[in-house]
A and B are shown apart, each in its own frame.
Chain A
C-alpha cells in the first residue's frame, strides 16, 4: 500500500497505558497511521475536526467531554472503535446498535477483529452518521439527570452547567437554551430535556417552553383562563393550562 493511501488514526483516551497498548497492537497494521493522541474530550474533538482522521479509537470516560458527548457534537463522524472498561449503559448502547467496541482489557485477537471490521467499512466508504445517531439515542435512554450540556457554535464547544440555564424554548428541530449571557442552539427535542433535567427545578410550562424555577419572578394572569410566567430578567413566557397545573404543583401553591 502506498503511503498516501494510509488511513489516518487518532487515539483518544485519558490513560497513557491504554493508548500505549493500541499503539503496540497497531504496529502490525502498516496501512494505519497514528496521526495524534489526545487525553481529553475537548482536544480530541478539536483534533477530529482539524485533522479529519479516518478511524478513531475513542474512550468513553474522559475529562471535559465524555466520548458520547464528543460524538454528539460531530457532524460527520469518522469510523469509531469504542473502548470502555466498565459502563453498563455504554455497553448496552453498543450492543443494541451492533457497533464494534472493545472491553478493557482486550486481547490482540479481539483488537484485530475490531480493526479488520473498521478497515472494511473504511474501504466501503461507509459513513457512520446513522449508527452514531442511534448510539446517542440509546445512551440518552440513560435515566441519569444532566448536570451539563455540551453545545457547539461553529467550531467552538461550550459546556453549559444546567443550573445556569434560565429557560429552554423549542425552535424547530432545535431547542434554544437561554443562559444569563447567551443563548445556545442544541439539536435535541423538548421531550429529551424534559426527561433529563431535574424535574424539581425545570418545569415544562408549555409545549415549547421549559423554565428553571430558580430564575422565575412571578406568575401572572395573561388573559382570562390563562397564565404567564414572568422571569427575573423580564422575559414573559406563556403557560398552558396543563403547564400551569404542573408549575403550581412544583411551587407547592
Chain B
C-alpha cells in the first residue's frame, strides 16, 4: 500500500488544505483572543501547522508497520511514544527557532512563545493522535476493501468450478455406441455413415467448446439437441420419434449452454433405453410472463424398473440454474400415465452472467 498522501495531486491538496484550515483557526484565535498583529499571528499559525504536516508525513510508515494485529501492544505503544517525542522535539524546536529568529525584537510574542510551550505540547500530542488514527483508519479501510475484493473473486472462481462440475459431460456410453453405429453403416450405407460422423463431430464440438457459465441462444441449443436426437435415431431406428414445436419468439432467448442436453439424455435413457415400444419425445417452447418455457415430454414404460436409481442429472441442472439465476423454482417434472413431463423456465433477464 502506497503512502495515502502521495497517491494523487488531489490527496496532497486535501492533506495540506486540512493543515491550512487548522492554521486558519489558530490565526483567528491568535488575532481575536490574544490580539497579536496580523503578520505575527499568520506566521505563527502557518509555521506550526505546516511544519507538523511535513514532519507528520513519515508517521505513515510507523503506522503502516505496526499494524495492530501483527505486533504486541507494548511494541506498538513503545514505537509510538518514541516517534511522538521525536516528532514533538523536532517540530517544536524548528518552529521555535524559525519564529524567534523572524520576530526577535517582539518581546510580547517571544514571551508568549515561551509561556505557550505546555499548550503547544498538548496540541502536538492531540494532532499526533488525530493523524495516527486517520492513517490507521485508511489502512483498515484499504484492508477491508481488499478482503471484499478477494472474497468476490473467490466466489466467482468457486461458482465457475461448481458450474463446470455440474455441466454435463459427454456420456462415453453414447459416444462409443454411436461410433459402433458408424462402423456398421460404413458397410451398408456409407452416405449415412458420413452424415453421422459429421453430426457427431458437430455435437462434440458444441459440447467441448463452451464454458459452463456461458450463455447461448435457445436456437443454437436446440440445433445441438436436434443433432443429438438424429444420432440417437440412427442408433435406435424407428423406436425413437421426436417433434419440435418452437414458438419463433423464443429462439433468441439466452440460456445456459448444454443445459437441455441432460434432459434429452434422460428422456432417451428412461424412455428409449428401457422400452421396447416406440418412444416419442416432444419439445414445446413458448413465451409466458417474462419467461421462456421449455417443455419436454417423453413416453416411458411405467412397468420398466430402472436398474439403479436416477435423479443426479436433474439435480445437477437444478443446481446450475440456481447458480446462474439465483432461483430454484425453474425446473419442474411430473409423471402422467406413461408420459414424463419436464418444464424448464428461463427468466428473460440474466443476472450475474459469468465470462
Residues of A within 8 A of B (CB): 14-18, 20-21, 24, 39-40, 42-43, 61, 63-64, 66, 85-87, 103-106, 144-148, 159, 161
Contacts and interface: CB of A to CB of B under 8 A. Distances in A.
B235 A15 contact: yes
A71 to B, nearest CB: 14
Contacts of B172: 85-86
A63 B172 CA distance: 19
Contacts of A15: 177, 180-181, 235-236
Contacts of B276: 39-40, 42-43, 63-64
Contacts of A63: 273-276, 301, 304
A85 B182 CA distance: 13
A64 B237 CA distance: 18
Contacts of B235: 15-17
A24 B304 contact: no
Given A17-B234, A20-B184, A144-B307, 9 more contacts: A14-B273, A15-B177, A15-B181, A17-B185, A63-B275, A86-B177, A106-B183, A147-B306, A148-B306
B236 A14 contact: yes
Interface string B289-311: 00000000000010011111100
Nearest to B177: A85
A153 B263 CA distance: 38
Given A16-B236, A18-B180, A105-B183, A85 B173 contact: yes
A148 B273 contact: no
A167 to B, nearest CB: 19
Interface string B169-198: 000110111011111110110000000000
Interface of B: 172-173, 175-177, 179-185, 187-188, 234-237, 239, 273-276, 301, 304-309
B107 to A, nearest CB: 96
Contacts of A64: 274, 276, 304
Contacts of B183: 21, 104-106
A42 B276 CA distance: 10
Contacts of B307: 66, 144, 147-148
Contacts of A43: 276
A109 to B, nearest CB: 13
A145 B308 CA distance: 7
A17 B237 CA distance: 9
B177 A104 contact: yes
A85 B176 contact: yes
Contact of A21 (B187, B237, B305, B309): B187
Contacts of B185: 17
Given A15-B236, A64-B304, A105-B179, A21 B184 contact: yes
Nearest to A160: B305
A104 B179 contact: yes
